[in-house]
Amino acid sequence: MRFLNTLKFVAMIAIVSGLAIALATPATAQKRVRWKMQSAWGSKLPHLGTSAPRFTKNVDDMTGGKFKIQNFEPGALIPPLECWDSVSKGSIESCWTTPGYHTGKYPAAAFFTAVPFGPGFGEMMAWKIFGGGDALRNEIYGAHGMMAIDSLAIGPETSGWFRKPISGVSELRGMKMRFFGLGAQVMQKIGVSTQLLAGGDIYPALERGVIDATEFSMPAMDISYGFYQIAKYNYFPGWHQQTSISEMLINVDKYKALPKQYQSVLKVALGESVGWVYAESESKNFGAMKIMQEKHGVKVMRWNDETLAAFETAWREVVAEQSAKDEWFKKVADSYFSFRKDYKVWKDAQSLKATYLN
**Predicted pLDDT at 30:** 79
Rounded Cα–Cα distance for residues 301 and 304 (Å): 9
**What class is the 31-155+243-282 domain?**
alpha beta
pLDDT digits (tens, 9 = 90+) for 131-186: 999 999 999 999 999 999 999 999 999 999 999 999 999 999 999 999 999 999 99
Q: Which of 135, 121, 182 is nearest to 343 (CA)?
A: 121
In this predicted structure, the answer to whether residue 260 has a pLDDT above a threshold of 60 is: yes
Burial class (CB in 10 A: 0-12, 13-18, 19+), 34: exposed
Least confident of 42-56, 125-139, 269-283, 344-358: 344-358
CB 37 within 8 A of CB 70: yes
In this predicted structure, the answer to whether residue 20 has a pLDDT above a threshold of 70 is: no
**Predicted pLDDT at 19:** 34
In this predicted structure, the answer to whether residue 9 has a pLDDT above a threshold of 60 is: no
* Gyration radius of the chain's alpha carbons: 24
pTM as predicted: 0.89
CB 284 within 8 A of CB 217: no
Q: Which of 235, 189, 243 is nearest to 214 (CA)?
A: 235
**What percent of the residues of the chain are helix, what percent strand, and what percent coil, each to the nearest 5?**
55, 15, 30
Q: Where in the chain is the domain with CATH 3.40.190.10?
A: 160-241+292-323
**Predicted pLDDT at 21:** 33
Q: Where in the chain is the domain with CATH 3.40.190.170?
A: 31-155+243-282
- Helix/strand/coil (H, E, C) string of 155-208? CCCCCEEECCCCCCHHHCCCCEEECCHHHHHHHHHCCCEEECCCHHHHHHHHHH
**Predicted pLDDT at 193:** 98
pLDDT digits (tens, 9 = 90+) for 63-89: 999 999 999 999 999 988 889 999 999
Average pLDDT over every residue of 111-127: 98
* Mean confidence (pLDDT) of the chain: 91
**Predicted pLDDT at 355:** 58
User: In the chain, which ranges are E strands?
Assistant: 33-39, 67-72, 94-97, 146-154, 160-162, 176-178, 193-195, 213-214, 233-236, 244-251, 299-302
**What class is the 160-241+292-323 domain?**
alpha beta
Rounded Cα–Cα distance for residues 191 and 89 (Å): 37
CA distances from 64 to 18, 31, 216, 334 (A): 22, 11, 37, 44
Q: What percent of the chain shows pLDDT beyond 70?
A: 90
**Predicted pLDDT at 354:** 59
Q: Which of 34, 22, 249, 298 is nearest to 151 (CA)?
A: 249
Average pLDDT over every residue of 58-66: 98
Burial class (CB in 10 A: 0-12, 13-18, 19+), 219: buried
Residue 117, Cβ neighbours under 10 Å: how many? Answer: 16
**Predicted pLDDT at 29:** 59
**Predicted pLDDT at 12:** 39
**pLDDT band at 249; cut points 50, 70, 90:** very high
Residue 284, Cβ neighbours under 10 Å: how many? Answer: 17
In this predicted structure, the answer to whether residue 328 has a pLDDT above a threshold of 60 is: yes
Instruction: Quote the crossing angle between the two packed helices 121-130 and 133-142, to the nearest 10°.
Output: 50
